[in-house]
């Protein structure tokens, strides 16, 4: 491929770079699983061939993007699912977050309140855990009900069949996100942006354990698509459902509303959308509050914001860990007003984002600002993990790639327009 071709068609460059980086991580994953070298070689030879096709036949780029993402992202997840169920052992080959989602669904199917339930006795203690303290998830469910409600019908069917893995639902959520991204950003830009989302280095590593941010992100992106299509009441409904799926979804709401303003929402419709979203959220939360208000508040509020034995211990590598190691905070369960820092970071970025989005009027900027906001607010929260870093980074990268792809397409269309004139 010539340098001139690279300049005319830069879209495939992220696919090549990200594919190589993610492939290197995938090799390490399957080496740990002791896959035969011949199988690994055949898998990566086929994937490399497909990526090479993108560099030579750019008209095939969309299909190659889909196959590359399926190969480098979905294959390791499918391997992890099969490995856990074909080779059961004392250690559950699934992350504690995804396993807790599955166990919460099990509790609900047995008509047991998932808040305040004993996840240690249910088997969560078998999940991998590398911190020096016991997993907080053993006795607390910090997420809101949507995190495990949407997969419940599938889980009920799987339970009848005697086999279920929450990562199968997360793969479905991933497929929905793929469709949403190529719909939000038509053409080559959308296909490469979707590939960037799934091939960002480290995503497959998190996903083999269970990337439980995907359902919330699917609802957030669906709300953004509804705003772009001027389906404002649907936008409100989806935003409400996103927030009760995972609380991080609330960080995207003001930015989606900024895009709705760009698309012409009026005050009356905005209020109707807000009421729709609020009612949807209440419909999901109210049954659990009525069921056991004390357990629900203890798990989702006190545990995250309190202190002492009932506080989530500071860990990870965010601001909280720095303050703890420097002596500003004396103990991992001590109280500290992280919520003030979170509000300050969120409000500042919302204000900047509102002005930026309305001035630039570019959809990709909304996705970038979502990622920046989530990254910044979670960094100054009580705990900041690799999954939080991935959450913000994948949105930022996706938005940047979509914006660059859109610019490249516009640049190529200008000479054609000139010749037509």
Mean of the pLDDT values across residues 109-125?
Answer: 90
Q: Give the range among 295-304, 322-331, 401-410 with minimum mean pLDDT.
A: 401-410
Task: Determine the 3-state secondary structure of 352 from DSSP.
Answer: helix
Predicted local distance difference test score (pLDDT) of residue 407 = 65
Look up residue 328 and give its two tokens.
């500003």
Q: And the tokens for 99?
A: 């396993």
Q: Name, of 7-11, 117-121, 291-295, 298-302, the range with top average pLDDT.
A: 291-295
Q: Which two tokens stand for residue 381?
A: 């929260």
pLDDT at 59 over 70: no
Task: Assess whether pLDDT exceeds 60 at residue 418.
Answer: no
- pLDDT average, residue stretch 245-268: 97
For residue 130, what are the contacts with CB-CB under 8 A and spacing of at least 6? none
Residue 56 has pLDDT above 80, yes or no: no
Per-residue model confidence (pLDDT) at position 280: 98
| R_g over Cα of the chain | 22
Per-residue pLDDT at 412: 47
Q: State the pLDDT confidence band at 415, using cuts at 50, 70 and 90.
A: very low
Task: Give, in order, the Cα–Cα distances in Å from 372 to each of 123, 215, 248, 368.
Answer: 36, 19, 12, 6
- Residue 11's pLDDT band, with cuts at 50, 70 and 90, is low
What's the mean pLDDT in 99-128? 90
Of residues 52 and 363, which shows the higher confidence score? 363
Locate tokens 């953004």: which residue? 224
pLDDT in tens, 245-256: 999 999 999 999
CA distances from 216 to 82, 100, 149, 252 (A): 25, 16, 12, 11
What is the length of the chain?
421
Percentage, residues of the chain above pLDDT 90: 62
Angle between helix axes 75-86 and 166-184 (nearest 10 degrees) is 170
138, HSE (Cβ side, Cα atoms, 13 Å): 12
Helix (H) or strand (E) holding 315: strand 315-316
Q: How confident is the model at residue 10 (pLDDT cuts 50, 70, 90)?
A: low
Average pLDDT over all residues of the chain:
88
pLDDT at 66: 86
- Token digits of residue 38: 């011949």
Does residue 2 have a pLDDT over 60? no
pLDDT on residue 420: 44
Q: Minimal CA–CA distance to 212: which of 256, 116, 148, 300?
A: 148
Among the listed ranges 123-132, 170-179, 221-230, 320-329, which one has the minimum average pLDDT value?
123-132
Is 419's pLDDT higher than 60? no
Q: Which of 267, 252, 278, 269 is nearest to 350 (CA)?
A: 252
**Selected residue with higher pLDDT from 48 and 266:** 266
- pLDDT over 70 percentage in the chain: 90
Task: Quote the pLDDT of residue 402.
Answer: 93
């Amino acid at each position: 491929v010539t340098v001139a071709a690279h300049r005319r068609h830069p879209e495939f460059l992220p696919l090549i770079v990200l594919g190589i980086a993610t492939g290197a991580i995938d090799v390490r994953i399957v080496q740990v699983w002791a896959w035969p070298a011949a199988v690994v070689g055949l898998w990566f030879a086929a994937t490399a061939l497909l990526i090479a096709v993108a560099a030579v036949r750019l008209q095939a780029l969309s299909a190659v993007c889909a196959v590359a993402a399926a190969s480098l992202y979905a294959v390791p997840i499918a391997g992890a699912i099969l490995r856990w169920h074909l080779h059961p052992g004392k250690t559950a080959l699934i992350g504690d977050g995804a396993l807790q989602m599955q166990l919460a669904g099990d509790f609900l199917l047995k008509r047991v309140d998932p808040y305040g339930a004993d996840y240690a006795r249910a088997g969560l203690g078998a999940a991998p855990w590398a911190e020096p303290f016991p997993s907080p998830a053993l006795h607390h469910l910090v997420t809101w009900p949507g995190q495990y409600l949407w997969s419940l019908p599938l889980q009920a069917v799987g339970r009848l069949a005697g086999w279920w893995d929450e990562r199968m639902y997360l793969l479905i959520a991933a497929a929905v996100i793929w469709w949403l991204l190529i719909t939000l950003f038509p053409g080559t830009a959308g296909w490469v942006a979707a590939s960037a989302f799934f091939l960002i280095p480290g995503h497959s590593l998190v996903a083999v354990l269970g990337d439980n941010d995907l359902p919330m992100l699917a609802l957030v992106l669906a709300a953004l698509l509804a705003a772009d299509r001027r389906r404002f009441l649907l936008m409100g409904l989806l935003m409400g459902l996103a927030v009760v799926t995972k609380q991080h979804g609330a960080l995207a709401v003001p930015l989606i509303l900024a895009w709705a303003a760009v698309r012409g929402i009026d005050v009356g419709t905005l209020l109707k959308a807000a009421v729709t979203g609020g009612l949807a959220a209440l419909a999901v939360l109210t049954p659990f509050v009525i069921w056991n208000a004390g357990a629900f508040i203890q798990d989702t509020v006190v545990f995250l914001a309190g202190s002492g034995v009932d506080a989530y211990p500071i860990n990870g590598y965010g601001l909280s860990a720095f303050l703890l190691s420097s002596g500003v905070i004396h103990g991992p369960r001590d109280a500290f007003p992280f919520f003030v820092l979170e509000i300050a970071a969120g409000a500042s970025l919302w204000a900047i984002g509102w002005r930026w989005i309305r001035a630039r009027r570019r959809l990709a900027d909304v996705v970038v600002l979502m990622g920046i906001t989530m990254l910044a607010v979670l960094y100054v929260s009580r705990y900041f993990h690799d999954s939080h870093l991935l959450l913000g980074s994948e949105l930022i990268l996706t938005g940047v790639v979509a914006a660059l792809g859109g610019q490249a397409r516009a640049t190529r269309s200008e000479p054609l327009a000139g010749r037509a004139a």
